[in-house]
Amino acid sequence: MADPGDVFRRAFSWLPTQFASQSGEPVGPRQFGSTEHLSTEAIAAYVDGELRMTAHLRAGHHLSLCPLCAGEVDAQRQARSALREACPIAMPNSLLGLLSQIPDRTPVTPTEETPQHSVEG
């Protein structure tokens, strides 16, 4: 079986060296340890395509080596797909009516609007 890191490096070998490492080291300045997993926010950003290129490449490298995080990414993709395929959320008209009665602004009282000065003479 081929080394997953080597497969990843060869797949991105066309990138300039600042984006993809040609060495045996992980991509990017920070190296993930075997116990450092992607955060929930990083997994969601990875699935949604919101990571910058270097972060995306580092996460992709980590995912090629970490089945736990790869499983989390798969679960996030399934959840994303289920939400996109779900029926639109409907709001009851009574709730919409109540929400529309909430004022947009706080009413300004005359004392807050203009400060009152006393004139002594």
Domain-embedded: residue 118: no
pLDDT value for 107: 76
CA separation for the pair 58, 37 (Å, rounded): 11
> What does pTM read for this prediction?
0.47
Confidence of residue 24 (pLDDT cuts 50, 70, 90): low
Domain-embedded: residue 108: no
- Is residue 29 over pLDDT 50? no
pLDDT value for 108: 76
Residue 5 near residue 34 (C-beta atoms within 8 A)? no
Domain-embedded: residue 47: yes
Per-residue model confidence as pLDDT tens digits over 73-114: 999 999 999 999 998 888 899 998 999 999 888 877 776 555
Look up the domain containing 11 and give its range.
4-98
Domain-embedded: residue 111: no
CATH number at residue 56: 1.10.10
> For the residues of the chain, what is the DSSP string, one character each?
---HHHHHHHHTTTS-TTTS-SSSSPSSSS---TT-PPPHHHHHHHHHT-S-HHHHHHHHHHHHH-HHHHHHHHHHHHHHHHHHHSPPP---HHHHHHHHTS-SSPPPPHHHHS-------
Instruction: Tell me what the pLDDT averaged over the chain comes to.
Output: 77
- Is residue 117 over pLDDT 90? no
- Is residue 30 over pLDDT 50? no
Give me the number of domains the chain comprises.
Answer: 1
Tell me the CA distances in angstroms from 23 to 5, 13, 52, one per residue in order. Answer: 10, 10, 21
pLDDT value for 114: 59
- Is residue 42 over pLDDT 70? yes
CA separation for the pair 19, 29 (Å, rounded): 10
Domain-embedded: residue 80: yes
95, two tokens:
């709730």
